């Protein structure tokens, strides 16, 4: 599945970009997320590569995000992937409530490809999720040279960008194929 992401009208990009995001289920628990930014990539602030460490506040500069509803339907997991290879994973009990670090069996495998007109990042990880279909939200934060932050998602129902809102979880992760 691949979708087009749109910038929030209150926080638009100054430089025109197209942003695509997708996810595929490689097995019951392994997911591969893919994000593509098309445009004048030299105008983006792209964190320099570093060790694949867990880190907070990745959204303060260019990063890519995914939100998945837990099987019980009340909580959700937030995943953040940085071009620096840093990452974050959080469990929430409800809307912005009960945040705790999510347990991953291994750090995500992040790959980055950068060209003059295209930035592509994939993040593959194992996540303890149901084999059933799940609702999700794919998002991006882009920082442009000069400091402008734009917030991208497939849907922006509120007055400001808020990737945590359940009415943003409009995409469906397909069920795992039978083994």
Q: How far apart are CA 162 and CA 71, in angstroms?
A: 22
Confidence (pTM)? 0.94
3-state secondary structure of 82: coil
Q: Give the other-Cβ count within 10 Å of 50's Cβ.
A: 12
The length of the chain in residues reads: 179
Query: Domains of the chain: which residue ranges?
Result: 2-173
The CATH number corresponding to 2-173 among 3.30.70.20, 3.40.190.10, 2.60.40.1190, 3.20.20.70 equals: 2.60.40.1190
Mean pLDDT of 166-175: 87
Q: What are phi and psi of 17, to 5 degrees?
A: -130, 155
30-39 and 17-25: which strand pairing? antiparallel
Q: What is the pLDDT of residues 72-118, one digit of tens each?
A: 677 899 999 999 999 999 999 999 999 999 989 999 999 999 999 99
Q: What pLDDT is stored for residue 30 in this prediction?
A: 93
What's the start-to-end Cα distance of the chain, in Å? Answer: 21
Q: Are 63 and 71 in contact (CB under 8 A)?
A: no
Q: Are 63 and 149 in contact (CB under 8 A)?
A: no
Residue with tokens 């290879």: 85
């Amino acid at each position: 599945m691949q979708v087009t992401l749109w910038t929030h009208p209150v926080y638009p990009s100054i430089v025109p970009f197209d942003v695509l995001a997708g996810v595929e289920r490689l097995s019951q628990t392994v997911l591969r997320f893919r994000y593509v930014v098309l445009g004048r990539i030299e105008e983006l602030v792209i964190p320099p590569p570093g060790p694949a460490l867990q880190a907070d506040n990745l959204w303060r500069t260019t990063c890519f995000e995914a939100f998945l509803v837990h099987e019980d339907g009340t909580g959700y997991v937030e995943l953040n992937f940085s071009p620096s290879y840093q990452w974050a994973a959080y469990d929430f009990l409800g809307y912005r409530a009960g945040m705790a670090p999510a347990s991953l069996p291994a750090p995500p495998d992040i790959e980055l490809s950068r060209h003059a007109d295209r930035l592509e990042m994939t993040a593959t990880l194992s996540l303890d999720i149901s084999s059933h279909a799940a609702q999700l939200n794919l998002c991006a934060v882009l920082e442009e040279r000069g400091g402008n932050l734009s917030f991208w998602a497939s849907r922006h129902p509120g007055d400001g960008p808020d990737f945590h809102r359940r009415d943003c979880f409009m995409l469906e992760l397909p069920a795992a194929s039978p083994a």
